[in-house]
Every structure is written in structure tokens, then in C-alpha cells.
Amino acid sequence: MKYTLNSGYKIPVIGFGTWQTPEGVVAKDSVKKALESGYRHIDTASVYGNEKSVGEGIKESQIPREEIFLTTKLWNDKHSYEDAKEAIHTSMELLGVDYLDLYLIHWPNPKHLQKGDAWKKANQETWRAMEEAVEAGLIKSIGVSNFMPHHLESLLETAKIKPAVNQIYLSPSDQQKEVVEFNRKNNILSQAYSPLGTGTILDNEDLIKIGDKYNKTAAQVALRWSIQKGFNPLPKSVTPSRIVENINIFDFELDASEMELIDGLEGIGKESKDPDTIDY
């Protein structure tokens, strides 16, 4: 199953996240296991420090590059036109690829830009470099991460290419409804990182009960909810059995009452950070 982005490209409805997956054998093997298990959408970032190993895992899987949707992200110290151009090439070199399927601005307002409106110009100049990379064939789609509506509105003032996705902390415990609605109105896909609330929602009795009905885990129920909401979840794991479990969510469907029940779980776990006050 795939979504069609506003760029015209298709993206698998579930992806494999690699946040907090250490560089080396762990990252390489977890990516290989994910691809072996049926994932065709791999998400990483410069700051994760594992791009080289993610690339090695993709290569060693022997799955054709064109069958894999690969995402990485620009870190906070590269928010300028020239720095972004350099960062794109550095990520591609580390990953061992000649194009990226999706490239994101990781955070809209890094600590060093939080005085006044410095972040606005920085994002606009960074975006210009990303648009040029699209025009050059280095990147197929571009987007953002952790952007709130006011960050997106500022970017859209000068953008020639609309963001294809906005990757945000999004799970039953923190549904970010205002951001999701802005994304929807602007045809921007809501990608869900930490769709399991970094594990804080997995002992919830409602999720467990629903899972028992379908012979599924609470994690599978939460991921199924995310897809039925039209989100693009990116579960992360380095445990082989859980990597397989997290993609095994296409043989059941939550009914309207179950979706409504899960909608009511807002606030049961860890919540997202304010991107305008982050300290990095």
C-alpha cells in the first residue's frame, strides 16, 4: 500500500525508523531485517549518526534501489543555502546513493536561531537549496519535520515547491490535531515518528483489549490506527521479532467505535516538544 505525495511520487504507507539506532552492525542489520520483512521505506537523519550503516544495510539487502523509498534529514547546524547544499551531498555520500527519495528540514527553529525571526529566513534559504536539488535530480521530494502551522506558513511565502510531508511526533497519546489539520488542508502528508509514543502507550488496557480481539499487540493496534487516520507511521525497533510484528498490520481493520476509543487516548503518554523552545 502506498500514498501519493503532492510531488506525484508514491510513498509506502508504513516506514522503518532508525532514530536512536546506533551506527555499526546494529543499524545495518536492523535495516536489512526490515527490508527482508517487507518494509520498503527507510527513514534516517544526519543527526542520527547512522547514515553510513543504513546505506550498507540497504546495499547488502540486494533489493534494487528503485524499490526502496529513502528519507534523510538536514540537521540544525546547516540552516543556510550553502550549508544545506553541502549537507545534501554529505548525506548522499554516507548513504552510498545517487539520489534521495525524500529530504527534510529536521527542526524549524534551532536554538541558535530563536532570537527574533532569524529562523524564517534560514528556513527559506535552506528550502531554496533543497528546491535546486530537486531540479538537479538529486532529490525526488522535499519536506519538513516538527513544523507547526506558523512555520509552514512562513515557508510557503517563498517556496516554489510545497512540502510533501511534515514528519511530527504523532501517536494516540499526542495527536497534534491543529498541525494535522493544517497538513491536510494543504495536501501535506502527516508522517508519524514515534507512533508508539516511544513505548509509553504499549501497556494501555484499551489498546491491549482491542488487540486481543484481533490477536494483535497494542503496538499493532496503534500502528493500524495511524494508517487508518491517513498518517504515515515510522516505527523503530532493533529487535527482529518486533520489526516483523510492526509491519504485520494489514490483515485486520479497526471499526469506527475502536477508532473513536483510541482517539480518546490523548495525553496518556509522552508528548511532543515545542519546536520554538528546543535547546539544540
CB-CB contact of 264 with 228 (8 Å): no
End-to-end CA distance of the chain: 36
What is the torsional sign of CA 241, 247, 252, 258? Answer: positive
* Distance set, CA 253 to CA 171, 208, 222, 229 (Å): 17, 15, 12, 12
Spatial distance between the Cα atoms of 170 and 79, rounded to a whole number of angstroms: 24
Spatial distance between the Cα atoms of 270 and 88, rounded to a whole number of angstroms: 32
The number of beta carbons lying within 10 Å of the beta carbon of residue 280 is 10
* Distance set, CA 21 to CA 2, 33, 49, 125, 261 (Å): 25, 13, 9, 30, 32
- The residues pairing with 234 across neighbouring beta strands, listed in sequence order, are 193
User: Which grid coordinates are listed for 16?
Assistant: 522503518
- Number of helices (H), then strands (E), in the chain: 10, 10
Specify burial of residue 251 (Cβ count, 10 A radius: 0-12, 13-18, 19+). Answer: exposed
Spatial distance between the Cα atoms of 239 and 241, rounded to a whole number of angstroms: 6
Catalytic residues: 48
